[in-house]
Structures are given as C-alpha cells and as structure tokens.
Amino acid sequence: MTTNTEQLTGQSILAGERTTGTGRTVNGYNPATNEPLEPGYSLIDTDQLKIATTAAAEAFDSFRALDPEKHAAFLEAIADNIEAVGEELVERAMVETGLPAARLNGERGRTTGQLRLFAKVVRQGDFRGVRIDPALPDRTPLPRVDIRQRKIPLGPVAVFGASNFPLAFSTAGGDTASALAAGCPVVFKAHNAHPGTSEIVGRAITQAVADAGLHPGVFSLVYGPGASIGQALVADPAIKAVGFTGSRSGGTALMATAAARPEPIPVYAEMSAINPVIFFEGALAEDPEGHAKAYLGSVTGSSGQLCTAPGLVFVPSGAAGDAFAKAIAPVTATSVGQTMLTEGIYTAWSEGVAALESQDGVELLGRGTQGESENAPAPAIFASGVKQLVNNPVLQEEIFGAASLVIRYNSPEELSNTLSKLEGQLTATLQLNDSDHQAAAQVLPILETKAGRILINGWPTGVEVGDAMVHGGPFPATSAPQTTSVGTLAIERFLRPVAYQNFPEALLPQPLATDNPWKLNRRVDGTLKLAGE
C-alpha cells in the first residue's frame, strides 16, 4: 500500500498560513516496521506559537458572535471536507499508527458524525442556557429588576491530540468540535506520532474557515515538543481552557502549568483508568468460557490501546470463577499481538507488564503470541487476590495495551470494601442476571462515586457519541469529573454564565432579546418556554 505524500508539507498552519518551524525536524514512524515516514515536520518555536495564539484572541469576538445557521454550517463544512479527502486520509493514518482500515474508517465516521451532531446542537441552542427573570416592579417588600442569563464561550482553547485516536480525539476530534461549537477558536497541538494525518485534517478545517469567511485565527495547527511548546501553549495568556487526552503525567503537568498562571484556567484532561468489570455468580455460572472469550476480545481490541479497556476484572470464588480462570489460558493462547501505536508505547507496555508480573502474589493466567510486525506484544492476563490489590499500588496502575488482571473475591462485603478503595475510573461494568440484582444493588452506590459511566453487561470498550453519554470520571480518570469529553454535554466545558441586569432592549444580546430572534428554548421566570410558544 502506498500513500501520496506529495501534498504534505511538513509545516504548521498558523492562522491559515503554512509556516516552517525554526526548530528541529521530526518524522512520523510506521510502527509495524519502525521506519521513518516522509515528510519531516519542522517544529515551531515560542515566537511562532505566539502568532497562532494572538490570532486566536483576535478571532474570538467575531467567531463567538456568529448566528446559529452560519456557525452550524461551518461545522458541517469541516465534516464535508474531511470526507472529501477520501482514502488518502485512512491510508496515511494506517501507516502512521498500525491501526487497521476498518477501525480508521469507523473513526473517521465518528469524527464527521460528532461535527454534524454539534451543528445540530448549535442550531437548537439549548447550550446557551437562556434564563429570563422579568422585572417585578410591584413585588414586596422589594421590587425585582429584569435579569437575564446566557452562557458565553470562554475564549481560545488549546487542544492536544491523543496518540490512540488519530481522528476522533485528534485534529477535528471531540475536543476541537465541542470547542468550536461553543464559539471558541482552537489552537491544536498535533501529536508527533501521526503528523501527516493531522496535517490532512488540519487543511480540511482551514479550508472550511476560509470558505465561511471567518477570521483565520479560528483554527491553527502547530507542531512542537510537548515539554516546551505544549507548556508554552497552556501558559499563554490568550488561551482560556485546555482539552487533553493522554497520560496521567502529561495531564498533571499541564494542570500544574495552568494553575500557576497569573490567571489560572481549566484543564479538561482525560488520563488514566483501569475500568473494573465485576462478575456476579449468577451471570458467570451461565457461560464462564464464553465470558472469558468476550473478556479477551475487549482486552485485545485495538491492541488494548483504548482508554476504556478493562484492566481489572473481579470474579467470585467458587466453581464458576474457577471455570472462568481455567478458560483464560486456552483462550489467550489463540491471541496474536497487534502492532501498537508507537515504539515508545510498546516499551511502556513491556515495562508495565514486567512490573506487574514481578509482584508478589501475581500469577500469569494466559499469554498469547508475539505478532510478526514490530511493536506487537503477546497479550497477557494475570491473576491476584483482593489483599494484594488493596495493598500494592502497582496492581492498580494502568497498563496501556493488551494486558489485564483478574481478582478473585470471596463475598459481597469483600467486593464492596475493595471497590471503595479504587481510584476514579472512566467506566465500571457489572456482569449480572436477574439473580444478581440484590448483590449489584450493594455496589452501585460505591461505583457512582468512582466512575463516569456504569454499564450492565456488555463491555466498556466503545463509546457512543450522543446526548446522554458521559466519558469522564473522578481523578485520575479525568481532571474535571463534573464534565464529559464525549457527547453533546462536552460543549459545557468551554462556556460560562453571564447575567445581564436591567439592560435596555437595544443592548441585549440576540439570545436574550424579548422577541427571541434565534428561536431558542428559554426558561422564563422559572418555567421552560419552548421556541414556538
């Protein structure tokens, strides 16, 4: 398979202008062979970064004032442009990440789908949070003046591309889409593991900005080292919020920089989770071997490089649990390692597995075979006990990749006590049937305090993009557990409320005008009034 790289420039796009960086040049790598890919990408310096952040600040006022139809059409144009690229996008992403075409085609569909979903959100307008308390001049003992509230965008947002989702959590992914939908310009820092993919999508966004006649500072794509350009981006006074998906160390470093600014800003970081899955006796007894196969499929999908992969599984003691544990070895033996995203991620996986395997009380339940390509480790499943899990923090550390730990528990009380000692998680899953409802009810209050999404049956890998989804959770799963990075509620991260007291009609913003020109649903004197009423 060949990929046309002639149109790739290896340059950043700063407010619509292709710009050669003054720093060193880096290449993407094919993780299946460890061979460098052309072109090389020149890294910008902090002075060049300032071009992007200054332009974003200059673009803010006009961008946030867009009427809903033009704003929504802009988001749809980005989606159209990404689709118009054709197979070149998927082919480039394949060689940069080692991910298969089917996975990347699905990810492209998710990327364009969430852009169009946010276009609907913009047209519908509930995210503006309009509330109107009309004046009550005759109220006693004190009259009430007219007070109106809406939510406005925070300002320019810095977004960091994720290594494991070169499309859906990258250049035009969820953080970018929700920030643009909120009315915030975006300065996007590309992940150096898939620079060509980022450039292709960055061009699609830049073209949509130009075609809509928007200020070019609405979007910039920058290439640079995280330790300097990434930190400088978060520290820049023009930036008002940060979206990040990556490691706990990377996320907490950005959080520290954001908190140390003269004007601290929020960092919405999705970081680390082991996503516990809990089997109850009734469900497990029905088909322990089938459950073992489904478990392995969730652990090994995308080489385990999913933020919702089940890194920890609780299984009851007894015959059903024994059958499940016994089935792991033959099921895992049939698995073959898949190419991981980068050599660095492969190395970190290897070190994590070695550390886990060396702990007292940890045994190997099953191991697959190494893949034929580079960076394709053999999947591995381990087992240990409740005491070891609670007392040894190594057993609770995320291993990003195809590895997981099975924990046997002896009673519902022991299970509840153990779950209460876990860190925050993106997901928690209960495998149960009707006979397990009472046992499940005991742990649900605990899991509500630990996870952003609780599943009954099924497996946590795979995140639906919609209105009800929550992809978040208590630290260290995320830095802001009151928010989500997936679904329409993600737009709320980049908004803040403003009240307008005693404003004359001529000065009211359009969403608050008495005649409701944007046809918004609004809460008037505490009662929801639909746009048509």
| Residues with active-site annotation | 270, 307
Q: Which helix (H) or strand (E) holds 253?
A: helix 248-260
User: Is there a contact between 444 and 412 (Cβ–Cβ < 8 Å)?
Assistant: no
Give the closest residue to 466 by CA, choosing from 45, 91, 116, 69.
Answer: 116
Q: Do 224 and 193 contact (CB within 8 A), yes or no?
A: no
Report angle CA 470, 474, 477 to the nearest 5 degrees: 80
* Residue 235 dihedral angles phi and psi, to the nearest 5°: -80, -15
Residue 454 to residue 419: CA distance in whole angstroms: 13
Tell me whether the omega of the peptide bond preceding residue 39 falls within 30 degrees of 0, making it cis: yes
Dist. CA 356–CA 358, nearest whole Å: 5
Query: Residue 5: is it exposed, middle or buried by C-beta count within 10 angstroms (0-12/13-18/19+)?
Result: middle
CB neighbours of 149 closer than 8 A, spacing ≥ 6? 129, 130, 131, 132, 497, 498, 499, 500
Is the distance from CB of 375 to CB of 343 less than 8 angstroms?
yes
Q: 127-142 as b/e, with b when 16 or more CB fall inside 10 Å?
A: bbbbbbbeeeeeeeee
Rounded CA-CA distance 221/417 in Å is 47
Q: Are 276 and 310 in contact (CB under 8 A)?
A: yes
CA 222 distance to own-chain centroid: 19
Alpha-carbon gap, residue 98 to 343, rounded angstroms = 11
What is the secondary structure of 479-490 as a DSSP string?
S-TT--SSSGGG
Number of other CB atoms surrounding residue 120 within 10 Å: 14
One-letter amino acid at 291 equals H
CA 188 to chain centroid? 14
CA 189 – CA 160 distance, rounded (Å): 5
What does the alpha-carbon distance between residue 190 and residue 198 come to, in Å, rounded to a whole number?
Answer: 6
Compute CA distances 93 → 73, 237, 239, whole Å: 27, 33, 29
